[in-house]
């Protein structure tokens, strides 16, 4: 993936779509600008990431921006030029630190502290533009364009907006939910009977009805080995924090404390515990989760889901952990009956650790933890302002209905011309990498037979925009009757339906994997489908690309992201999957050894970089760095191929107004600015500790320092920081 899921989706840039901002800033208020781009018909005023037009002639509307007139074309090109220049620190030496050269003013203009955000960046800005459009739809009364499913999604959003109306009934609803499965010790006090509590049976029954994975669970997932059907997988729970390091590193204590405080507030507000009891219980539950997390897979190690999974009979897994873990009962109750076929055990280290943790943990703690996880997804704390409540409820709606919202956006705002241009760029990227694989001089570290298999995989690789136009939403909503007045009942309905639907997958053919909400916010490569998926969020005009911008901007920004995902098909885990998406070791021994040597080069290179005053770890997992490097190289080669094909045509558009940089240089500036960002200081530890993606500045510096054509374009002397003698290259 391109993004940074440990913090949010990703980071990067900040052009608030011209179609919205020019329209939204027509009030005539004065803005202190950094640039005066034109003085003939209008001024373009830019401060931060707010674009405003002070028109001396006729006013500019959204509709005007869609017109291909010289006036509008020049307006948008001047706006883009002003934005690019405003982010740059042109006094910085591009050969010493190209990130500072390209993004040196970004954090001052788009400070995370100033806007009270975790971070600012391109993906954040894209998400905000998308959210504004979706909120406008959700806050609009039902109209003729709404499908029955759209109406239900609107009802869900409205029920969240009315959550304060639940008031004291919220506590009663939570206690009623808990009572379905027994009693919670912290609510019962000394009357709670430990001998009556069956923790395996309780967590299995909760999983069967609501799909909640508390402590460990059995669930139905797509078979990642054969890719043909669905299988049962026994494994770890869903953790409240994203990665193992957030539970065990001393430097990440603040995140565990934050979760503890959240749990304390939930216990106090929604279960009516007094402050001291809520505080004590929250600490016990976080301490327990920290112990469970010792068995998690480390994000910084190379991970292959299939290699971490073992196909066994239920009896075989049961014997491994009996009597502490009763796998037979877990599977029987979770699935609603006996299972005769083999199932997968995922990450046995987790189960091995769990056995020891269970032996020393009081049943009271187990019960409190399981019931907390039961109510966790149903809890929503009302926000103090309408604006924050809207944002919170939109996020809740995304969690349950991201596919519906993406489809809704696509139907309302689809720009077919833009989509066609992106598909053309994909085809050019694909053909360019195909040429590279077929060349006798390129990628000579891969033996020819393996290279032929790589070509076959590339040819089978698909690209799609995640618009869900073929999704059977009617079937997915079968049985749902969401209303606009009770958020809790709506969530319960959804969880019951989806738990049942997931179990029913077991004996059905495999379908496209559900990448989760994250697939709506960042491009992804799906290994088991050999497919790249681009979120509809990235189709918004003027943020990343426009037909009036130089192609160098789109190739420098969007093409490396798509190229990044393409390279994931051939990185340290993607190369374990063949053209059909089946798990298959198709690499010969020599090519595999050469790959490992190349990966080790990246490990050492990126381990030398410093972020926020701290040296980065030498992580064995290098998939994201390999994809960053290969994706940028591929995008630049594709851009040069496109540029050469245009010779004899008018290329005046490739020179952007008021910027002295030629197209090749503009490509690299655009690439760097796609990773301009500012991250609030207290979250920088999380970036380093838990994210397999490098911080934005390191993604720019590390990638371009390995690329000789960059050094040539900016005349970087040999041995300079951006042109080191040792370069890491795989793709």
For residue 25, pLDDT over 80 is answered with no
Nearest C-alpha neighbor of 687 from the set 572, 571, 588, 609: 609
Class of domain 168-376: mainly alpha
**d(C-alpha 606, C-alpha 705), whole Å:** 11
Who has greater pLDDT, 20 or 86?
Answer: 86
Three-state DSSP class for residue 403: helix
Q: Which of 7-21, 280-294, 449-463, 702-716 has the lowest mean pLDDT?
A: 7-21
pLDDT tens string 640-678: 999 999 988 888 889 888 889 999 999 999 999 999 999
Which DSSP symbol is given to 617?
Answer: P
Q: What is the pLDDT of residue 62?
A: 57
Three-state DSSP class for residue 706: coil
For residue 52, pLDDT over 80 is answered with no
Three-state DSSP class for residue 119: strand
Q: What secondary structure does DSSP assign to 246-258, as a single string?
A: HHH-GGGHHHHHH
For residue 463, pLDDT over 90 is answered with yes
**d(C-alpha 678, C-alpha 103), whole Å:** 10
Residue 181: Cβ within 10 Å count: 18
Positive or negative, the CA dihedral 254, 260, 265, 266 is: positive
CB-CB contact of 501 with 495 (8 Å): no
| H-run or E-run covering 92 | none
Q: How confident is the model at residue 484 (pLDDT cuts 50, 70, 90)?
A: very high
Query: Looking at residues 517-536, what average pLDDT do you find?
Result: 93
pTM: 0.88
For residue 635, pLDDT over 50 is answered with yes
Q: What is the pLDDT of residue 85?
A: 96
For residue 50, pLDDT over 80 is answered with no
Reported residue count of the chain is 731
pLDDT tens string 681-698: 888 887 777 777 899 999
Residue 32 CA neighbour count, 13 Å, CB half: 1
- The residue behind tokens 């600015």 is 673
Q: What is the pLDDT of residue 113?
A: 84
Q: What is the pLDDT of residue 592?
A: 96
* Both structure tokens of 386: 């309408």
Residues 6+ apart with CB under 8 A from 454: 437, 446, 570
Three-state DSSP class for residue 56: coil
**d(C-alpha 74, C-alpha 370), whole Å:** 60
Q: Which of 154-163, 205-214, 615-624 has the lowest mean pLDDT?
A: 615-624
Q: Which of 61-70, 239-248, 427-436 has the lowest mean pLDDT?
A: 61-70
Q: How confident is the model at residue 486 (pLDDT cuts 50, 70, 90)?
A: very high
| Interior angle at CA 426, CA 424 and CA 429, nearest 5 | 115
Q: What secondary structure does DSSP assign to 209-235, as a single string?
A: HH----SEEEEEEE-TTTSSSEEEEEE
For residue 34, pLDDT over 60 is answered with no
* Both structure tokens of 50: 């707010």
CB-CB contact of 298 with 291 (8 Å): no
Residues pairing with 343 in the sheet: 312
Q: Which of the residue ranges 107-111, 354-358, 381-385, 504-508 has the most confident prediction, judged by mean pLDDT?
A: 354-358
Q: What is the pLDDT of residue 47?
A: 26
Q: How confident is the model at residue 6 (pLDDT cuts 50, 70, 90)?
A: very low
- The residue behind tokens 């530890």 is 685
CB-CB contact of 374 with 115 (8 Å): no
Q: List the alpha helices (DSSP H) in 271-385.
A: 275-293, 314-321, 327-335, 348-360, 363-376
Q: Where are the domains of the chain?
A: 1-127+415-466+514-731, 168-376
Q: List the alpha helices (DSSP H) in 533-662.
A: 551-568, 589-607, 623-645
* Both structure tokens of 713: 């374009």
Query: Looking at residues 515-522, what average pLDDT do you find?
Result: 84
Q: What is the pLDDT of residue 3?
A: 61
CA distances from 4 to 14, 119, 619 (A): 17, 11, 16
CB-CB contact of 489 with 483 (8 Å): yes
Who has greater pLDDT, 302 or 418?
Answer: 418
The packing angle between helices 363-376 and 169-179, to 10°, is 120
**d(C-alpha 459, C-alpha 579), whole Å:** 8
**d(C-alpha 563, C-alpha 430), whole Å:** 8
Query: Looking at residues 477-481, what average pLDDT do you find?
Result: 95
Q: How confident is the model at residue 65 (pLDDT cuts 50, 70, 90)?
A: low
* Both structure tokens of 484: 């606009």
Nearest C-alpha neighbor of 103 from the set 120, 84, 117, 116: 84
For residue 55, pLDDT over 90 is answered with no
**d(C-alpha 353, C-alpha 375), whole Å:** 25
Q: Which of 434-443, 504-513, 674-683, 710-719 has the lowest mean pLDDT?
A: 504-513
| H-run or E-run covering 46 | strand 42-47
Select 1-127+415-466+514-731's CATH number: 1.10.645.10, 3.40.390.10, 2.60.120.10, 3.40.630.10.
3.40.390.10
Residues 6+ apart with CB under 8 A from 657: 37, 74, 77, 78, 81
Cα-atom radius of gyration of the chain, to the nearest Å?
27
CB-CB contact of 256 with 290 (8 Å): yes
For residue 628, pLDDT over 90 is answered with yes
Mean of per-residue pLDDT scores for the chain: 88
CB-CB contact of 102 with 663 (8 Å): no
Positive or negative, the CA dihedral 169, 173, 179, 180 is: positive
CB-CB contact of 88 with 103 (8 Å): yes
* Both structure tokens of 266: 């939930």
**d(C-alpha 540, C-alpha 519), whole Å:** 16
Three-state DSSP class for residue 640: helix
Three-state DSSP class for residue 485: coil
Residue 80's Cα: distance from chain center in Å?
26
Q: What is the pLDDT of residue 27?
A: 30
Q: What is the pLDDT of residue 683?
A: 84
**d(C-alpha 322, C-alpha 314), whole Å:** 12
Q: Which of 276-285, 304-313, 330-339, 550-559 has the lowest mean pLDDT?
A: 304-313
């Amino acid at each position: 993936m391109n993004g940074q899921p440990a913090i949010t989706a990703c980071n990067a840039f900040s052009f608030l779509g011209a179609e919205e901002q020019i329209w939204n800033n027509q009030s005539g208020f004065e803005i202190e600008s950094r640039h005066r781009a034109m003085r003939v018909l209008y001024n373009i005023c830019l401060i931060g990431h707010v674009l405003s037009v002070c028109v001396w002639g006729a006013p500019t509307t959204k509709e005007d921006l869609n017109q291909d007139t010289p006036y509008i074309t020049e307006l948008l090109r001047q706006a883009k030029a002003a934005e690019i220049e405003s982010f740059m620190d042109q006094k910085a030496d591009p050969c010493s630190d190209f990130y500072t050269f390209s993004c040196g003013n970004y954090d001052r203009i788009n400070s995370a502290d100033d806007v009270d955000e975790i971070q600012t960046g391109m993906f954040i800005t894209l998400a905000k533009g998308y959210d504004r459009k979706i909120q406008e739809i959700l806050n609009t009364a039902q109209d003729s364009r709404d499908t029955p499913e759209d109406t239900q999604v609107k009802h869900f959003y409205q029920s969240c907006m009315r959550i304060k109306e639940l008031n004291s009934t919220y506590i009663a609803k939570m206690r009623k939910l808990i009572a379905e499965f027994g009693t919670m010790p912290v609510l019962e006090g000394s009357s709670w009977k430990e001998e009556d509590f069956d923790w395996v049976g309780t967590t299995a029954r909760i999983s069967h009805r609501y799909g909640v994975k508390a402590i460990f669970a059995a669930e139905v997932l797509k078979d990642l080995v054969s890719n043909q059907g669905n299988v049962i997988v026994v494994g770890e729970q869903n953790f409240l924090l994203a990665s193992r390091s957030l539970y065990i590193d001393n430097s990440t204590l603040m995140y565990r404390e934050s979760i503890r405080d959240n749990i304390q507030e939930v216990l106090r507000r929604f279960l009516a515990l007094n402050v001291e009891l809520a505080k004590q219980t929250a600490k016990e539950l976080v301490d327990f989760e920290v112990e469970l997390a010792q068995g998690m897979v480390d994000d910084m190690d190379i991970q292959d889901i299939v290699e971490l999974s073992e196909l066994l009979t239920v009896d075989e897994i049961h014997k491994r952990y009996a009597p502490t873990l009763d796998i037979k009962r877990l599977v029987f109750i979770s699935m609603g009956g006996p299972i005769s076929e083999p199932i997968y055990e995922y990450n046995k280290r987790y189960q091995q650790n769990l056995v020891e943790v269970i032996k020393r943990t009081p049943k009271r703690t187990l019960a409190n933890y399981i019931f907390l996880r039961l109510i966790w997804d149903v809890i929503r704390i009302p926000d103090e302002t309408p604006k924050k409540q809207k944002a919170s409820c939109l996020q809740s709606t995304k969690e349950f209905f991201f596919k519906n919202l993406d489809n809704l956006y696509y139907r309302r705002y689809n720009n077919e011309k833009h989509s066609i241009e992106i598909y053309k760029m994909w085809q050019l990227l694909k053909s360019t990498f195909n040429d590279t694989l077929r060349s006798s001089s390129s990628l000579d570290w891969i033996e020819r037979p393996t290279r032929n298999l790589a070509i076959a995989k590339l040819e089978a690789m698909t690209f799609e925009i995640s618009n869900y136009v073929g999704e059977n939403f009617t079937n997915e909503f079968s049985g749902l009757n969401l209303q606009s007045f009770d958020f809790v009942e709506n969530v319960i309905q959804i969880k019951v339906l989806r738990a049942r639907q997931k179990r029913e997958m077991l004996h059905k053919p495999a379908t496209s994997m559900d990448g989760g909400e994250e697939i709506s916010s960042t491009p992804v490569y799906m290994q088991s489908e050999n497919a790249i998926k681009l979120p509809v969020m990235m189709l918004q005009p003027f943020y990343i690309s426009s037909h009036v911008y130089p192609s160098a901007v789109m190739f420098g920004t969007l093409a490396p992201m798509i190229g990044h995902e393409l390279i994931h098909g051939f990185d340290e885990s993607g190369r374990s999957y063949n053209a059909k998406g089946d798990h298959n070791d198709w690499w010969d021994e020599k090519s595999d050894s050469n790959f490992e040597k190349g990966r080790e080069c990246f490990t050492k290179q990126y381990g030398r970089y410093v972020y926020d005053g701290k040296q980065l770890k030498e992580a064995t997992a290098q998939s994201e760095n390999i994809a960053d490097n290969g994706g940028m190289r591929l995008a630049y080669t594709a851009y040069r191929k496109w540029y050469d094909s245009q010779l004899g045509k008018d290329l005046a558009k490739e020179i952007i107004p008021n910027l002295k940089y030629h197209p090749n240089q503009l490509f690299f500036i655009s690439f760097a600015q796609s990773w301009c960002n500012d991250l609030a200081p207290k979250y920088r530890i999380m970036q380093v500790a838990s994210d397999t993606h490098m911080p934005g500045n390191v993604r720019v510096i590390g990638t371009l320092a390995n690329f000789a054509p960059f050094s040539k374009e900016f005349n970087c002397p040999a041995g300079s920081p951006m042109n080191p003698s040792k370069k890491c290259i795989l793709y």
